[in-house]
Amino acid sequence: MKYRFACLLTSTLALLAACHVARGQENLPTGPSNYEHDLQIFAPYNLDLDNKADDQWSGYFFEYNKLFWAYTGERTTVGSPNVFETIDGVRVNGEFAEVIYRPTGPNDIGTSPEPYLVTNTLNNVQPRAGFAMGDRYELGYRDGGNGWLISILDGPELNQSHLYGFAPNATLGGGVPPFISNDYTDGTDVGPGTGAIADGNLRAFGFGSVPVLFETPPGFLLGFRDYLNFLGNATTGTQGGPLLYVGNYGLTTEPGTGDTTIPFFRLVDDINGNGVLGSGFILNPNTGLLGFFIDFGDLHKFDIFFDNVFVRSQTQVDGVEAMWTHDLTNQNYMAKNQNNRLTAAWGARFLRLYDDFRVDAEGSILGRSWWDTSFTNNIVGPQVALQWVNERQRWRLQTDARFLFGYNIANWDQEGLMGEELIPGALNRPLFARPTAFSHGLREQEFSPVGELRVKAKYQLTQAFSFNFGYTGSAMANIRRAAPSVHYYLPDMGYVDAGTQTMLSNGFDMGVEFVR
């Protein structure tokens, strides 16, 4: 019997030794409850009589994550909210539309209607909430419960753009009505006309489709107008439109006058109806010499309606942080199945939020114009963090909470060029305005705390390599954005203090980790 038992035991041990994996039962007498593991019969036996946590590995680690984050946006208006008109004794935002037919006096029949109120129509442009991609790199070292961590954030970068108004069309030679170049058609309204063909069937545009209100110095938008025909007051209405002014466009004869050729000479509309054109020649009865006269009663206030407005915005967050880490001990916590770790960290962090807002506009009395405004929030300060890790077999659940006591140095910059087609004193242009380039800058300082929460799950593929995915959410307080800080003032724009706001970002992370 003893011999048979010895043979059976020897055979059983030999079979177990030949197995690649041999599953052990749950709830081993000397192990924690509800904990499954492989029974390795030749591995060193380890018994924790004090229910202490397993010793953690020591060494270097590197982690890379691809980020898919969304930034919160806001409703932004292109145009000034500080342009007002008075209606029935009440100030309202907006300005009255251009008046083509002006009251001329007692010879008028009926009552002139009131013009409608022009307001900013682009009230919900970029930046809007949207997803963007970025990268995060982390390098660290752990030994005996202490270590360090360096993290680099690159992005995400959110780019948004949208075109409002009539879009240019290069296949038609510059655009669809209203044309950006070659401003007359041959009557079909399909392609641009040139020279005599345009003269034969006038189609002049230029009143635009996208109103933008600007604050201006007194009288800045006043100028002499030539919309009307027959060198007179308001006898047949407007055909030429605001695109006609001295020597720049294709009209070579005065409409309705047969073959009256006026290639470089135009007459100002008699807006006040006094029978005197806005400018011309006068014969001095005393000397018999010709002189010039100006009727400033014929000055006209123009509206700004661009043909199209192209809005672009860019928002990007990047930075770097350096932290010292320390594992909080739980060796004296008398409980079974201890597979948790709590780590505290402290250090410094730099975070940069770059926010850019650019507008390109074409048409109107200004011609091509653009302005580019940016705010760079440079946030730096001490940071504290707390990390909790729970390990179960190959899975690791990890939660990180960070708080940055940030000091924000926010740099505001603006560049632009207004009014490519402005000619001082030209017909259908302001009297004094001319093309203006500008570059402005200033600095604001704020206390900008930043809170961040990361939750991720890791799966250990090998001892040195793991795959992870998770979520990151953060809130940056007291930061400044570019879009609301634009002062819509002609001719050189400027800065308006729109205050601070809190920007939220959140999204998914996916990456890998290497340990050594």
Which tens digit of pLDDT belongs to each residue from 355-367? Answer: 999 999 987 888 8
Most confident region among 24-28, 335-339, 383-387 by mean pLDDT = 383-387
Q: How far apart are CA 293 and CA 138, in angstroms?
A: 76
Mean pLDDT for the chain?
Answer: 78
Most confident region among 12-16, 117-121, 278-282 by mean pLDDT = 117-121
DSSP H or E segment with residue 5: helix 2-18
Burial group, residue 503, by CB count within 10 angstroms (0-12, 13-18, 19+): buried
Taking phi over 0 as left and psi of -120 to 50 as alpha, with beta for the rest, 381 belongs to: left
Q: How far apart are CA 227 and CA 435, in angstroms?
A: 23
196: nearest Cα among 259, 241, 245, 243: 259
Q: How far apart are CA 118 and CA 82, in angstroms?
A: 13
Over range 169-181, report the average pLDDT: 47
Pair of tokens at residue 410: 């926010």
pLDDT at 463: 80
State the pLDDT confidence band at 392, using cuts at 50, 70 and 90: confident
State the pLDDT confidence band at 338, using cuts at 50, 70 and 90: low
State the pLDDT confidence band at 410, using cuts at 50, 70 and 90: very high
Q: Is the pLDDT assigned to residue 127 strictly greater than 70?
A: yes
State the pLDDT confidence band at 88, using cuts at 50, 70 and 90: confident
Over range 161-172, report the average pLDDT: 71
Question: pLDDT tens digits for 294-330?
Answer: 788 888 898 999 888 999 999 999 999 999 999 886 6
Query: How far, CA to CA in Å, does 123 sit from each of 78, 81, 120, 220, 501?
Result: 7, 11, 7, 25, 19
Q: Which residues of 226-256 are buried (b: 16+ CB within 10 A; e: fewer)?
A: bbbbebebbeeebebbbbbbeeebbbebbee
pLDDT at 289: 72
Kindly report the length of the chain. Answer: 516
3-state secondary structure of 28: coil
Query: How far, CA to CA in Å, does 319 sit from each of 151, 289, 399, 499?
Result: 8, 76, 21, 24
* Contact between residue 231 and residue 254 where contact means Cβ atoms under 8 Å apart: yes
Does the domain made of 60-69+134-159+306-515 have the CATH classification 2.40.128? yes
3-state secondary structure of 429: coil
Over range 37-63, report the average pLDDT: 58
Q: How far apart are CA 53 and CA 73, in angstroms?
A: 46
Q: Where are the domains of the chain?
A: 1-47, 60-69+134-159+306-515
Q: Where are the beta strands (DSSP E) in 405-449?
A: 407-418, 436-447
Q: Identify residue 389 by its one-letter amino acid code.
A: V
pLDDT at 479: 94
Q: Which of 239-248, 394-403, 457-466, 485-494 has the lowest mean pLDDT?
A: 239-248
* Contact between residue 162 and residue 343 where contact means Cβ atoms under 8 Å apart: no
| Per-position DSSP letters for 185-251, written without gaps between them | -SSSSSS---HHHHHHS-------SEE---B--TTTTEE----BSTTSSSSS-BSS-TT--TTTSS-
Q: Is the pTM of this model over 0.85?
A: no
430: nearest Cα among 248, 251, 218: 218
Over range 270-285, report the average pLDDT: 70
205: nearest Cα among 167, 236, 238: 238
